[in-house]
Structure 1
Amino acid sequence: MSAEPHPTLPPVRLHSDAELARDALVAPLFARAVRLARWAGPGTRVEIGGELAADQLPQAAAVLGLDADDPDGPVHASQAWRVAVDTGLVDVTEPDEDADDPAYGTAEPGEDLALITGGAPGDVLDLWLAALDTVLADAAVPDLDDLVDALDDGGGLDFDRLDWNPAREADFLDGVLANLYLLTVSEGGAGQGPVPLPVLAASMVVPDDMGEPTDAVLEQVSDAMMRLDDQFRQLEPIGLVEFRPVDEELMAEADDDELLPDPALADEEDIARYGMVRLTALGLYGVRARMLEAGVEAPAIGGLADKGADALLEAVSHYPEHAAQAEIEQWLAGRELPTAVAELLDAARGDDEGAPLRRLRCQQALAPAGPEAEPAVRAVLDDPRLGGLARVWLAERGVKDVPAPDGAMVFWLTVDTIAAQLAADGEAEELPQLMESLTGHHTGFFDEVWRVEHPATADVLEAMGRLHPDKKAAKEARKAAFKARSRRH
């Protein structure tokens, strides 16, 4: 997959291999390929390239249960046969000039066919990924009408007339799937909602820094929509996507440069007429597998279960909160809680830039822990970096003998908490209220906080100067930030 990697991909929540393998086996095109592999035998004839002999296509279509009167039946049978050959479900021997019937070769079930019923779920998924490669390659080929129009006088393809570059088309389709993957996992890792086709087409065409798209750009978006409509029709049978095509009546009514929804449309059904696409659970798995093969870092929830606490906190510091919580829960599930809590607290130490957010994720990890975590938490009460966190955890559980923090620890914990929130969510809407809550209980807060020995003190005070809802407090924060900067220099 040659699409450019996104700088930070949120982690995806994948189904189990067993569930995904079941999805693969019922994907219509893959299921047809398996049936034809079982049908292949001594009487099966193939042509150059392993294609099924033309006069056998109706029989193959019948094996697949396709309507004998359906003119597309042989087409579907040919596609399923090609998938079976490309995945190794069928072994072919191409025509031998010395054979009694040199016009045809033979075919038989391949060794990999046994993996369908006797292999592990991962074996089935490997076969499905190979089938996906075949379908993606087919989807990047122009449609038949374009190919006919591009034939030269000698019957060969005139690539200049066709305006088709195979590598460019493959890259375009990979980029589309990468953007669809990103839109899907950004919704929460499970891909709950379909994406309107115009949105996906625009993501490939409209520059990020463009304001109002020009007519020329809109025409490119329309062209991309029509390409994607054709390509997703081909990708749906392999189980990659759920797809609602562009409404045929809409295409008949509209010129190409008008085939875009009015931005004022609010009715979901009207928007859906322009096409809707959603990656399936199997599709998320397939696109991620192609990304990993291309060297793109595409994490999956559960992927850190065998890593140390330091790797866990470092990774989940860059995850959305819901994904971080899910990853932490899976990490804790395979460990003895007292030991895991001690490891998490140790990994939360540090004065580097990422340390406040690591401590926030550590606090998040400790939130559901029960009484068995208390000894490990008590062990860090005197730690200048973790003592405040430990006191909060113990106090929330109603523990009576928790030593009160001194002023220095309170101020340090306040700075650390706000620094973590800034790192996690930026200047989120809730942050001003958090600032007001943390500072409202301390008279003379800004007279003291600038002295706190925390690497983020000045940055936090500057943020409070911008965001604190109380204007007087915001002014005091700006003065304190100046003192903190001066002190460091």
Structure 2
Amino acid sequence: MSIEWVNRAVDGLRAWGRERNVEVDVDEVRLLCDYASDYLEVNELGDFRPGTFEELLLEIYPRKVIAPPESAQETVAAARTLVQFLLDTGEIGIKTAARMRETIDHIEPEMPQALADTSKFGMAKSLFSAIGPDSLELDAGRGAGAQDTADGDECDCPGCAPLPPVRLAPREEVALAVREVPLLRDAHRVVTWLVEGGRTVTTRRSLRVRDARACTAELGVECPEPAWRLALDLGLARLDGTAVVVAEDFRELGTRGEDELLDLWRSALEFLVERSVRLTGEAVVDEGMSQIHDLLYRLQSPVPVDALADYLREVAAGRPVGRLDEALTALTYAGTVQRTEDGLALTSHALWGLRELYAGMGLDAPLAPAPAEGDASGLIAFLIGDGTADEAAERDIAEWLSRRTPEQAASELLAAVAGAPAEVRGVAVTIVDRLDVEAAPVVRSFLDDAELRPHAIHWLSSRGLDAPALTPEEVLWVSVDMLALALPAAEADPDGFAENIAASGPPAHLIEDMWRVDHPDVVEVLELLGSTLPDQAAAKAARKAAFKARSRGIR
């Protein structure tokens, strides 16, 4: 977005309004210009056309702006003001202005319905409408809301809603991660560097400009001022006038114990999140640290960066959101957020630290029950629905198994998935495959279950135990069943699935007969193979088999 031309336009609009004694909704006009610049290639005021307003008000606003339908009247009025401003300043002619006004007249009755149409909502609006803009208000109304609550009125805004249960990484993992936080390491390094160099700070306790530059050049510390402010807040150093004195108990991160590290991180997070710190250089982010981190804590899922940018723009009272990528890089440097393929999320140690802050504020910050404490159905449902990282899932499975004998584990798992969908059954079978021969009697008892029988035969024979041979029909069925297990992963990562299936996909002669299998997922499996197999002959066989299965009425 070209912020410069929008700022010039808004300044001109203010002056124009004062000269003509016209009331101007500057924030609304700025938003019109911002979105026109972002999405419609409007790079100066003269680029506005009648069609620009139609796209802005009926397409972009409904997709991007969280606003009630009744607000359409204000936006339409701002659009008419903008047209008059364009005309009076010579950016457009009389005929163009007339066409713009005619377009806006047609838009006016349609815009409220467009704002209310949820099918038009974009990703950001759909995500954050459920949360509400008040939950991320950048400090504007926090005092009033707190006062209302203190007076006994219940607050039902999302920001005051009960905190969701969270799962935390083990304390030892949190401590290890804290040791690697770049900003925390730099805070220690800056103190040592200042003391060893005999450097002083300003009377306002800030680094001198020349020292900040030297620190970056000599130590490679990109943000020396926030690192110094954090060090001072954590008590790593104290000031004797303007001279820097290292704290008596100062020690490097690598020498600190687990409890000491966690105490240090708790204080660091309070400094970063609960206070207005110029860390990122992006004012909207720096001032909204608490709300942004609270949002990520409550959602417990990554937020797409463009969704966060849209939302920040909407709640920032017209202030531009400029260098968001740079700001987010600064947050990763601070150790509070991480970038994932799906967007921005809290680090495991930030999640831990935020819960500590909430608990210290007297809020109820519940912990989610560990899957190991539940039954087999709960464990499987958690593994399927939580999106837990592989290492965390492995830890949960190992803990669950450690509380049971192999026989008990097999009995619970297989009984829980009798008659279940392929994905659920596949998770249970995969866990049972970890068990040793002590589970054999239980596994053998499921040979009478038509859906579990092929898996039980495979489990027994792979351990050299007596087992009936798989019939050709059972070979086909279990092949379809295992591929059905992969369907959700294939939808989430088609390229990864295609790469795996290229290395270990079923041969064409097996695929040709899969249509005969009475499996509820056979059509979907064959269609997936037909669209992903790199072997053209095998892919063609899958498409033909899918047609035959559909003809049989298998769904």
Q: Give the TM-score of the pair, scaled to structure 2.
A: 0.44
TM-score of the aligned structures, taking structure 1 as reference length: 0.50
Q: Relative CO higher for 1 or 2, CA cutoff 8 Å, sep ≥ 6?
A: 1
Which structure has the highest helix share of the two? 2
